[in-house]
Amino acid sequence: MKTLEELVKELPPELQQEVQDFARFLFETKVQPRHSKLRMNWAGALSEFRGQFTALELQKKAFSSPCVCGEGQGSGTLPRVRSSLAP
């Protein structure tokens, strides 16, 4: 059985470039660690409830409501807070 290097050498130059591009893509997306900045696009999403609930009350509601993903409590997934805040 031929090695990957031998197979690539037998390809025409344009296909060798495709193999190189794909290998680089795999490295950048699957191997190289990702260091992305934390997104804060959720900040202020609950500001309309500021006078109605404390942070502790919101936290308790979030962990006591059924999980949106259908896996139940303790699944590590937070439920939708807005749906559990309705009076």
- Residue 73 pLDDT: 46
The pLDDT value given to residue 30: 85
CA distance to 29, 51, 61, 66, 82, per residue, from 87 (Å): 45, 14, 12, 16, 11
Section 14-30 average pLDDT: 92
More confident residue, 4 or 49: 4
Reported as a single tens digit per residue, the pLDDT across 33-78 is: 767 777 778 888 878 877 888 888 878 888 887 765 554 444 444 4
Whole-prediction pTM: 0.39
Is the separation of the CB atoms in 69 and 77 below 8 Å?
yes
